[in-house]
Homo-oligomer: A and B are copies of this chain.
Amino acid sequence: MSSQESQVSPKDASYELLYWPGFPGRGEFIRLALEEAGITYMDTAQFKNGIDQVIAQYDEKNLGDDFNPPPFACPILRHGDLLISQTSNILLYLGPRLGLVPKDDKHHDALYKVNMLALTALDAFSNEMHESHHPISVGLYYEDQKDEAKRRTKDFVQTRLPKFLSYFERVIQGKASGEGPWLYSGQLTYADLVLFQGLNGAKHSFRKAMAAAEKSGKYNRVFELYEAVKERPKIKDYLASKRRLNYANGLFRYYEELDFDLEDRD
């Protein structure tokens, strides 16, 4: 086999997700795309010693291979001889292959619009979500940055969260979203799945604020999208399965002292 051939990711190669076990984390954005498409995939979080594959990628001597630069962090996707990291990048690769990006003539350049929406949902519910409990250092325990976390999370919940919810409400209200509950093109795309997972994580972490946001009636379209994803048959089966991990001390956490309301009630 020539080196060129060996880099082609064969269509029949299985998808392999390398991610930490024990919590949904950023891996969940990838899992939902694979689950919605009904694809069988390998997930290091699901088998004994799977974590060893993750740790090997983090090795400070890992230089990647002939075709792939080393990844900086997981989630990582392996498909045949391809190995890539970065959540939005993996979704960019998987989206068209899993039928989660429109490919009709009416929606030119759809991938850039879906990617834009997915990146924005990830900014909100992955990046800023993580910063809320780790505002000083990813290398320190939460307990060692608790005061700063309180200050940051209050701002996130009361300022950033409503801003992002308003934004996605506007996206669904706009004409480019098409008919129905989705963000773009009138069809389910992977951006909808990313937003669903982000909202699900936010509902876990910020119970008061998310309940108040839903009750306010200001973001009805966003919560309709949330319910519509939740009721997709394959997603519903997945959420009820053992493959769906429980929230723990990962990206989406619950701390009573960080569960701020949407507005101060005093």
Contacts and interface: CB of A to CB of B under 8 A. Distances in A.
Interface in A96-147: 105-109, 112-113, 115-117, 119-120, 123, 127, 131, 135-140
A159 B174 contact: no
B166 A60 contact: yes
A69 B160 CA distance: 20
A41 interface: no
Given A108-B7, A148-B135, A86 B116 contact: yes
Contacts of A108: 4, 7-9, 67, 82
A4 B119 contact: no
A69 B184 contact: yes
Given A93-B112, A136-B148, A70 B167 contact: yes
Contacts of A117: 69
B116 A167 contact: no
A88 B112 CA distance: 10
Interface stretch (A175-183, A222-230, A233-241, A253-261): A175-183
Interface of A: 3-4, 7-9, 60, 62-72, 82, 84-86, 88-89, 92-93, 105-109, 112-113, 115-117, 119-120, 123, 127, 131, 135-140, 148, 151-152, 155, 159-160, 164, 166-167, 170-171, 173-177, 183-184
